[in-house]
Chains A and B, each alone.
Chain A
């Protein structure tokens, strides 16, 4: 009798431990993929970063199709590192995660961690999207597709009409484009801006760096996947122009995407932002009061591509079919046209570039500029660029190199050398 009570106690203890672990498990499950809500609705967890501009479309789809979505926003870099970590750990990944073009190559090294979208029927969508963009999310053998393209980032120049006028520069977008044929022209205009108004031409030297490096045929990697940062003349050129803007004091010295950068934009501290299509949303969000003071025109020396993302479905998702349907709808040409109109995101579906509904669009915020035509023109000039597994890391190292000089902590040559040493060390680990 007495012994049995002992066993009961033991069982009770074991049970309470189990309950404890079970409770912890339930808690964790709340945030992970593949869940159903109490009333049997499918629930999709989606990871995005701020400013992607597709949240409204996702919510609309969820409402129309009676599913529940849980959109979780993290910083750009965190989305990628969280995804890598949870994929390696085998738990915690969402149903859908955004991955940027610089991050997709790292994911391509582990295609088994994602659903192959070709298995879910993505073949039928292939012709809707830009070929080079589509290929970026494909494994080299072409058998696996990790993600469906969201927008692309063809670049243009956003400028403040009022500041250009004060500086005695042309204000009409055609004339501005004619004046700014080369980057040297741009620097010259910047000097005039500084002299006449005392304002900076550009928000940050990192802006001009990121844009020029994207105008070449190659960036950090060659076609065989070798890192070519050191020997790529385009990178050196981008760096040198960034240095020129610093030496001639043409930059406002902000760090892009930080809080102060937004304040400076709202206060008109700088006259131009080198703007990939998605940057329009950043400008509209940061400086809503400057509506009508901006205009958009073509960049000097042709457009490159900066950014643009993919939506992927990690293998952990238990609702892959549902997730795929959502992605298919949200990124369909019709919806990309919507996000273009409301957020300025450039569609990755060339079919609508000629569409009247697209081409006739003008942006009220940007002084009624025909942004569709301008970015459509820019998109045609974009050359597909090979990214590699460490692109995000390299971008950060190069960005730091520019900022060191901006902050007066190193000479251009020394900062460049520091960056090259750092690259060599970090990529060998």
Chain B
């Protein structure tokens, strides 16, 4: 409120003609304050706010970008909800998210506990090694995984054949493709989450464990009764991050299943579908409609997250 008053006063003083122009210190502070934060808001409104509303606007048009726009009302949205490819993409996104996130966070926690053990030698090395996948170029990762999951000359199928199993067509099935993409996500993000958990583990006071040991609690009991409750906020944090990342998964499926998401559209995720509609098929109106629906889905998810978060907090 006080800032508004300051601006008002400044205006008034400018409006009076004969009076000697002066600006109060508080007004100056306000102006410089706004100036300091303005770069963010200017850039945000150009690259954030404007596209959001412009996307909403063009989602009511049929627009192949090299031609003219044609107003079609809500037709894009009507088509979207009856479009089996859209629902397939939504299903793929969730499927990949579930099979990548849940085991990933679980394994990351185990990894963090191992890295936190006192007996482990060369801790720095292992911590670095755990984090390394996260800074590897995604395209290079995808090419390697592509070679691992190849049907005829893939390492994985070779390993299966050693055990006398039939080769599996990873790229040509829903199951195989989702597993491959999920393993790429896991490989890349597990170490990252483990480092976050590790930081949380190290902030737990040692005396809690000492007290528990004296009271005769086993290691397992200590883990579930002390460790997990103490790092709960970090678990929530990683779940939220993984959710956002999982909803937006794009590069891995694009690199793994190629244009269109494969013959069954088994690798087609929502952002991938959006990209294909906009930049391959040039249906910008339709792509904008997808973008908005995706936006609403993420909002819905955030609300669910919020709900779960508050429940976990109240359990304390």
Complex contacts, B172 vs chain A, CB 8 Å: 403, 406-409
Complex contacts, B173 vs chain A, CB 8 Å: 407, 409
Whether, in the assembled complex, B91 has its beta carbon less than 8 Å from a beta carbon of chain A, the answer is no
Whether, in the assembled complex, A13 has its beta carbon less than 8 Å from a beta carbon of chain B, the answer is yes
Q: Contact at B146–A84, with CB atoms within 8 Å?
A: no
Whether, in the assembled complex, A411 has its beta carbon less than 8 Å from a beta carbon of chain B, the answer is no
Q: Contact at B264–A409, with CB atoms within 8 Å?
A: yes
Q: Contact at A81–B35, with CB atoms within 8 Å?
A: no
Contact with B along A256-284 (1 / 0, CB 8 A): 00111001100001000000000000000
Binds A, one of B100-108, B199-207, B275-283: B275-283
Whether, in the assembled complex, A413 has its beta carbon less than 8 Å from a beta carbon of chain B, the answer is no
Complex contacts, A373 vs chain B, CB 8 Å: none
Whether, in the assembled complex, B71 has its beta carbon less than 8 Å from a beta carbon of chain A, the answer is no
Binds A, one of B2-10, B59-67, B115-123, B219-227: B59-67
Contact with B along A97-127 (1 / 0, CB 8 A): 0000000001101100100000000000000
B263's partner among A252, A259, A404, A426 (CB-CB below 8 A) is A404
Whether, in the assembled complex, A23 has its beta carbon less than 8 Å from a beta carbon of chain B, the answer is no
Whether, in the assembled complex, B260 has its beta carbon less than 8 Å from a beta carbon of chain A, the answer is yes
Whether, in the assembled complex, B79 has its beta carbon less than 8 Å from a beta carbon of chain A, the answer is yes
Q: Which residue of A lies closest to B72 (CB)?
A: A429
Complex contacts, A254 vs chain B, CB 8 Å: 152
Complex contacts, B83 vs chain A, CB 8 Å: 425
Q: Contact at B65–A84, with CB atoms within 8 Å?
A: yes
Asked whether A263 and B152 contact (CB < 8 A) given A404-B264, A407-B263, A409-B263, the answer is yes
How far apart are A10's CB and chain B's nearest CB, in angstroms? 7
Q: Which residue of B lies closest to A112 (CB)?
A: B66
Report the separation of the CA atoms of residues A256 and B259 in the bound assembly, to the nearest whole angstrom: 13
Whether, in the assembled complex, A342 has its beta carbon less than 8 Å from a beta carbon of chain B, the answer is no
Complex contacts, A400 vs chain B, CB 8 Å: 260, 262-264
Report the separation of the CA atoms of residues A106 and B279 in the bound assembly, to the nearest whole angstrom: 13
Whether, in the assembled complex, B133 has its beta carbon less than 8 Å from a beta carbon of chain A, the answer is no
How far apart are B308's CB and chain A's nearest CB, in angstroms? 37
Q: Which residue of A lies closest to B28 (CB)?
A: A6
Report the separation of the CA atoms of residues A408 and B171 in the bound assembly, to the nearest whole angstrom: 12
How far apart are B193's CB and chain A's nearest CB, in angstroms? 31
Q: Contact at A396–B35, with CB atoms within 8 Å?
A: no
Q: Which residue of A lies closest to B266 (CB)?
A: A409
How far apart are B96's CB and chain A's nearest CB, in angstroms? 18
How far apart are B310's CB and chain A's nearest CB, in angstroms? 41
Q: How many residues of B contact A (CB 8 A)?
A: 37
Report the separation of the CA atoms of residues A263 and B153 in the bound assembly, to the nearest whole angstrom: 8
Complex contacts, B151 vs chain A, CB 8 Å: 253, 260
Q: Contact at B66–A10, with CB atoms within 8 Å?
A: no
A422's partner among B64, B65, B85, B286 (CB-CB below 8 A) is B85
Complex contacts, A252 vs chain B, CB 8 Å: 152
Q: Which residues B22-67 have CB closer than 8 A to chain A? A: 28, 35, 39, 62, 64-67
Q: Contact at A110–B67, with CB atoms within 8 Å?
A: yes
Q: Contact at B283–A429, with CB atoms within 8 Å?
A: yes
Report the separation of the CA atoms of residues A113 and B64 in the bound assembly, to the nearest whole angstrom: 14
Complex contacts, B65 vs chain A, CB 8 Å: 84-85, 88
Report the separation of the CA atoms of residues A426 and B152 in the bound assembly, to the nearest whole angstrom: 33
Q: How large is the interface on A (under 10, 10 to 19, 20 to 34, 35 or more residues)?
A: 35 or more
Contact with A along B259-303 (1 / 0, CB 8 A): 110111000000000000101111101100000000000000000
Report the separation of the CA atoms of residues A18 and B279 in the bound assembly, to the nearest whole angstrom: 31
Q: Contact at A17–B39, with CB atoms within 8 Å?
A: yes
Q: Which residues B114-154 have CB closer than 8 A to chain A? A: 146-147, 150-154
How far apart are A267's CB and chain B's nearest CB, in angstroms? 8
How far apart are B43's CB and chain A's nearest CB, in angstroms? 10
Complex contacts, B28 vs chain A, CB 8 Å: 6
Whether, in the assembled complex, B169 has its beta carbon less than 8 Å from a beta carbon of chain A, the answer is yes
Q: Contact at A77–B259, with CB atoms within 8 Å?
A: yes
Q: Contact at A259–B150, with CB atoms within 8 Å?
A: yes
Q: Which residues A126-180 have CB closer than 8 A to chain B? A: none
Q: Contact at A84–B282, with CB atoms within 8 Å?
A: yes
Complex contacts, A404 vs chain B, CB 8 Å: 263-264
Q: Contact at B66–A87, with CB atoms within 8 Å?
A: yes
How far apart are A83's CB and chain B's nearest CB, in angstroms? 10
Whether, in the assembled complex, A32 has its beta carbon less than 8 Å from a beta carbon of chain B, the answer is no
Asked whether A106 and B66 contact (CB < 8 A) given A10-B35, A81-B279, the answer is yes
How far apart are A90's CB and chain B's nearest CB, in angstroms? 11
Report the separation of the CA atoms of residues A39 and B124 in the bound assembly, to the nearest whole angstrom: 49
Contact with B along A372-404 (1 / 0, CB 8 A): 000000000000000000000100100111111
B35's partner among A13, A255, A426 (CB-CB below 8 A) is A13
Contact with B along A224-265 (1 / 0, CB 8 A): 000000000000000000000000000011110011100110
Report the separation of the CA atoms of residues A31 and B282 in the bound assembly, to the nearest whole angstrom: 23
Q: Contact at B79–A407, with CB atoms within 8 Å?
A: no
Q: Which residues B206-233 have CB closer than 8 A to chain A? A: none
Q: Contact at B263–A403, with CB atoms within 8 Å?
A: yes
A109's partner among B66, B79, B146, B279 (CB-CB below 8 A) is B66
Complex contacts, A407 vs chain B, CB 8 Å: 169, 172-173, 263-264
Complex contacts, B285 vs chain A, CB 8 Å: 429
How far apart are B15's CB and chain A's nearest CB, in angstroms? 18
Complex contacts, B152 vs chain A, CB 8 Å: 252-254, 260, 263-264, 269
How far apart are A269's CB and chain B's nearest CB, in angstroms? 7
Report the separation of the CA atoms of residues A113 and B152 in the bound assembly, to the nearest whole angstrom: 44
The 15 sampled A-B contact pairs (Cβ below 8 Å) are A77-B280, A81-B279, A81-B280, A84-B279, A85-B65, A109-B64, A259-B146, A260-B151, A400-B264, A402-B263, A407-B172, A409-B263, A425-B83, A425-B85, A426-B281
If A85-B279, A88-B65, A404-B263 are given as contacts, then 10 extra A-B residue pairs at C-beta distance below 8 Å, sorted by A number, are A87-B66, A260-B152, A393-B280, A406-B172, A407-B169, A407-B173, A408-B172, A429-B76, A429-B79, A429-B283
Per CB-CB distance, the 6 closest pairs between chain A and chain B, nearest first, are A407-B172, A403-B263, A88-B65, A400-B263, A110-B66, A429-B283
- Residues of B bordering A, CB below 8 Å: 28, 35, 39, 62, 64-67, 76, 79, 83, 85, 146-147, 150-154, 169, 171-173, 258-260, 262-264, 277, 279-283, 285-286
